[in-house]
Amino acid sequence: MSSSAEELVAEIVDDLAHLKGVRVIAAMSGGVDSSVMAVLLKEAGIDVVGVFLNVWEYSRDDVNRNGSCCSLEDSYDARRVADAIGIPFYSMDMREEFRRDVIDPFISDYETGRTPNPCERCNRFVKFGALLKVADQLEAKYVATGHYVQRADAADGIHIYKGNDAKKDQSYFLATTNRAQSERILFPVGGLEKDDTRKLARHFKLPTAEKHESQDICFIPAGDRIAFLKREGASAGFRAGNIVDLEGNYLGRHEGIAHYTLGQRKGLGLPDGPWHVVGLDGATARVVVAHPEDALISAVDVVELSWIRQPKAGEKVTAKVRYQMQPAACVLQSDGEILHMVFEDKQKPTAPGQVAAFYVGDELLGGGIVSRVA
């Protein structure tokens, strides 16, 4: 039998009781998860300050047709929730930081043949980078988010675990958050199932209780990545070139590497398939493809490493190099600033620019950015 809303609230409030009176920034996106997060903090007697990050300018047509994250309408929703639960609310202009740390690298990656992960960069540089500076300005000890991730405090420091709802777990996107940042982040809804989050939103009669979720990249609410890249001037990603196999044999032509991502198998239109994209070369404008059995990967190199907790000797480490994959057993070997990771069994392909997240069981150890695939 599922818990009632009252039982869920009592359990979470009890877990947060030690923070009564402490000032916490509630990162409010205007969605249901962050709305419930904010009201749970308030119920626990925490000194909550709601903050919305204005990161991008959206067209009203795109928002109306496709929904969004962090649009002006979302700002209104966040403010309505803040007003409803009685907490102060601020809208922070983070457009400059977002352009520098998320948009510009996103465009550059598609021009050079990498496949970026903008949600990871937003978390690392904006939500848990710039926003923690805002927390310092507002004399707040913590920042809280609506991520489905769990935190546990122990004698040896904090530990971060997967969210309780396996379908909503977002630990992968927090793998590059460093220990100092993680120590200041709270995840009040991380132990909930998504249905329970909705239940609590209705229980508190929040304005966002029935709001649907956007599945697109927040700055491309229409989901048209190609139109966005062309509009932003990513011309190098749209040079025509050849499609070749692993031996360099010509298979066809393409209209730009930005149309492809590593691991892609649909929409290639090549004979004698199926094929997977296994290489994108911005310098030569080549797209390299292979048959599925030849597209599997054995190892990746990882850079820009961040550790919440270093793996201990003898621990069995697993890794995800794609959001949708199950963590797979691997062996890690450090070489200066590069971490070599070898899988015990071959895996479906990933791409440079994607996140590699490391786990021991359900605990997130940290992660980095894939720089090479083999």
Q: Do the Cβ atoms of 174 and 123 come closer than 8 Å?
A: yes
Using alpha carbons only, what angle is made at residue 261 by residues 260 and 263, rounded to the nearest 5 degrees? 120
Options 69, 70, 218, 330, the catalytic residue: 218
Using alpha carbons only, what angle is made at residue 196 by residues 135 and 41, rounded to the nearest 5 degrees? 25
Rounded distance between C-alpha atoms, residue 123 and residue 265, angstroms: 29
Rounded distance between C-alpha atoms, residue 234 and residue 105, angstroms: 11
| Long-range contacts from 26-29, C-beta under 8 angstroms, 24+ separation | 26/50, 26/51, 26/87, 26/144, 27/51, 27/53, 27/127, 27/131, 27/143, 27/144, 27/145, 27/146, 28/52, 28/78, 28/81, 28/82, 28/89, 29/53, 29/69, 29/70, 29/74, 29/78, 29/146
Does 119 qualify as catalytic in the annotation? Answer: no
Both tokens of residue 366? 């940290």
**Which residue has tokens 């597209």?**
295
User: What amino acid positions are annotated as catalytic residues?
Assistant: 122, 218
